[in-house]
Amino acid sequence: MKENVSKILLVDDEPDILSFLKYNLEKANFKVFEANNGVEGIEVAKKERPDLILLDVMMPKMDGMEVCSIIREEIKDYTPIIAFLTSRAEDYSQIAGFEAGADDYITKPIRPRLLVSRVEALLRRRYILDSKNPGSPKDVFLDRDRFLLMFKGNEIQLPKKEFELLELLLTKPGKVFTRDEILSVVWGNETIVGERTIDVHVRKLREKIGDDYIRTIKGVGYTYNE
């Protein structure tokens, strides 16, 4: 495995889930740590300082909501956390997860490509907040806290979905994201949107930053052109 890869901590009490997640994330070149319960997860998080934590909700000893709150309180560095919602996929569980400090959630069963895309988007979100990050695309800076785009020195307020669409494209400038990938990551599998929804949001982004940055790949999807 190459050096300086992102570190991911998996916290789940189901061995099969841990094995599945670890396999797919290591295949995508992430360094993976595991914990079988919330208490162990907190200890590993403090020791390893992972770049991102994938956290199950329903676990013995301490549930994911409490674990999330403790990590946010005791590890002051900004660490994205995804709360996996199992049978508790109701709205109140999602809201509770966000209130506890989670940045995103994914419902089980988990699709490998969606998992990797969500992880990459969250990691990019973390690093792009640092204006000194040399990997940031030229002329572009995203402020997640305010859903604000800094483009060539100008502040542009973006609606949530436009922001998240641009944020996804920026995770890998030059990579072509398929329409299915974009819909899954930005709108989620449980949201029904019209066939032209992506096109409309891309058009609105182009009105704000120009036509040269987001390129259409006919029959496939879109890519960010540096």
pLDDT at 85 over 90: no
pLDDT value of residue 129: 47
Average pLDDT over residues 96-124: 78
Q: Note the pLDDT tens digit of each residue in 118-157.
A: 888 778 766 554 444 444 556 788 877 778 888 887 889 9
Query: How far from 201 is each of 80, 90, 210, 223, CA to CA, in Å?
Result: 25, 28, 13, 14
Mean pLDDT of the chain, nearest integer: 81
Residues 91-115 have a mean pLDDT of 73
Say which residue, 211 or 103, is predicted with more confidence: 211
Model pLDDT, residue 220 = 92
Is the pLDDT at 205 greater than 90, yes or no?
yes
Tens digits of residue pLDDT in 186-196? 887 556 677 68
What's the pLDDT score for residue 1? 37
Query: Does the pLDDT at position 181 exceed 60?
Result: yes
**CB burial readout 67-85, b (16+ within 10 A) else e:** bbebbeeeeeeebbbbbbb
